[in-house]
Amino acid sequence: MTEGRIPGADRTRKIPRFLLAATGSGNGKTMLTCGLLTAFRERGLKLAAFKCGPDYIDPMFHESVLGVPSGNLDSFFTDRETLCYLLAKGAEGAELSMIEGVMGYFDGLGGVSGQAGTSEVAAWTESPVVLIVNCRGMSRSVVPLIKGFLDYEEQKQIRGVILNQISPMLYPALKALIERELPIHVYGYVPVLGEELFESRHLGLKRPEETRELKKRLLELAKILEETVELSGLLALAESAPSVRGRKPALSSISGKVRVAVARDEAFDFCYKENLELLEELGAELLFFSPLGDGQVPKEADGLLLLGGYPELRARELSENVSMRESVKSVIEGGLPCLAECGGFLYLNRTLEDEEGREWPMADVFPGKAFRTPKLSRFGYVTLTAEEESLLGKAGSKFPAHEFHYWDCTDNGTAFLAEKPTGKRSWRCMKNCGNLLAGFPHFYYYGNVEAARQFLLACKSYQEGKKEE
C-alpha cells in the first residue's frame, strides 16, 4: 500500500432490519435477541447483528456462540453519517440485520438525556423498533405503559411490541386489547421460562465460554419463539425499513505495512471489531498473541495493543508466565509503541489484585498496584483532551471514550483530562511515556480516525529505526 488519501464516500443501501429495545434493563433484550437470531439462523437466513452502546460482551455472544457477525453502533462515539456507514458496512451480504438496544429505550447520557441512547440510534438509522415489554406482575396495565412510550417518542420509530414473561392463556386477550386501543402490532410473546438463560457479572453477561450449554439452550428458546413470535411478521417489518445512507470518513493510509501485535485471549478480549478493521485499512497487519499462553511478544512487531478484558480473573496464570511478562516489559522499554486500555493497563502495573484479594506480580512497566474496589469507578462516557503530545496526536486533541472498571490503580496518570458529557465532573488520567500510552479509558477509533493513523505512524517510525540498526 502506498501512502495516500482514501476519500470519504457515501454508501446508500437497502438493509432489511429492525431494532429490539426495552422499557428498561433486565427485561430480556439480550435473551430475545440471541433467541431470535438463532431462530432466523435455523431458517437459513444470512444475518448481521449490532449492539447499541459501548458493549463488548453482547457482540461476543452474537459472534462466538451464534456465528453471526456483530458490531457496535454508538452515537456518542461517531456522528450520524459515520454510524450509518458502519451499519451498512456491517450488514454487507446479510438478508436480515438485528440491532440490540441498550438500557431503556429513552435512556441516554447522564440518565436525563436521550443522546447516545437506543432511541437516538433508532432515529439516526430510521430503523423500525420492536419494544420488549416485561409483563411480569401486570396484565391490562401494560396498555398505558406502551401508550406512554408511543406518545413520548417524537420520531415514531416504535412499530411493534413483544410481551415477555406472560401466560399463554392471557396472551390472546391482551394482544387483542393492545391492538384495539393502540396503533401498534403485537408480534408475539415469551412465556415465563423455567430457568435463567444468562447470568450477570461485571458488564452485561458472563462471557460465552462461561455459560453452560448455551447453544443448546438457545436452540430450545428458538423452538419456543417459532411457536410464540410472528417471525414472518418481523421479517416483513424489517423489509419495510428505508434505505440507509452513510458516509465513510476520509482516511489517510500510511506507506507500506506495519505489524501490530494484539493481545487476544481469555484475559484480554475486549475490543471493538471496528477498531481492528480500521487499523488494517490504514495499513496495519495484525499479529494476535496470548499473554496467557505464549512465551513472548511477536519479534516482528512494530507496535503493541494490550486490550481490555478480565486479567484479574486470570491473574495467577498471567503472573506465572514470567517469560511473557519480561518480554512485554523489555519491548516497551526498548521503544516499541504500545497502547494499553483498561485490562491491558492493569497488566502493566507492578502487581494486580485478583478477586480473592491476592496480589500477583505483573509486567512491572509501572510501579503502581492495581486493586479491587467495591463498586464501578468513573463509569460511563467521557471526552478526553490530551494535555500533552502522545502516540495519538498533539496536545489539545479530543477523543470520545468510555470507562467501565471495578479495579483501580494507585497511579492512573495525568496526561489527559477526562470530562463527563453531562455534569461538571472531571479527572486526570492516562500514563504517557512517549512510546507508551496506557490507562482505563477505552477508545473507539472511528471517533477520531486521525488518532489511529498517528499510532501507526509511530509504529512506522519504529520499524524504520529497526532497519537502520
Residues 175-217: tens digit of each pLDDT: 999 999 999 999 999 998 865 555 544 444 455 555 556 788 8
Provide the pLDDT confidence category of residue 6 given band limits of 50, 70 and 90: very low
Provide the pLDDT confidence category of residue 462 given band limits of 50, 70 and 90: very high
Contacts of 158 (CB under 8 A, 6+ apart): 21, 105, 129, 130, 131, 149, 150, 184
Q: What is the pLDDT of residue 194?
A: 63
Please give the DSSP secondary-structure letter assigned to residue 119.
H
Residues 377-415: tens digit of each pLDDT: 788 899 999 999 999 999 999 999 999 888 999 999 999
Q: Taking a C-beta distance cutoff of 8 angstroms, is the pair 133, 142 a contact?
A: yes
424 has a pLDDT exceeding 50 = yes
- The pTM is what? 0.92
Q: What is the mean pLDDT of residues 141-169?
A: 96
Q: What is the mean pLDDT of residues 81-107?
A: 96
Lowest mean pLDDT among 112-116, 127-131, 368-372: 112-116
Q: What is the pLDDT of residue 202?
A: 42
- In which residue are the cell numbers 438493509 written? 15
> Shortest CA distance to 327 belongs to which of 285, 369, 364?
364
Provide the pLDDT confidence category of residue 12 given band limits of 50, 70 and 90: confident
CB atoms within 10 A of CB 455: 27
Maximal C-alpha separation, the chain: 79
In our burial notation (b when 16+ CB lie closer than 10 A, e otherwise), range 266-286 reads: bbbbbbbbbbbbbbeebbbee
Mean pLDDT of the chain: 91
Which of the residues are catalytic? Answer: 342
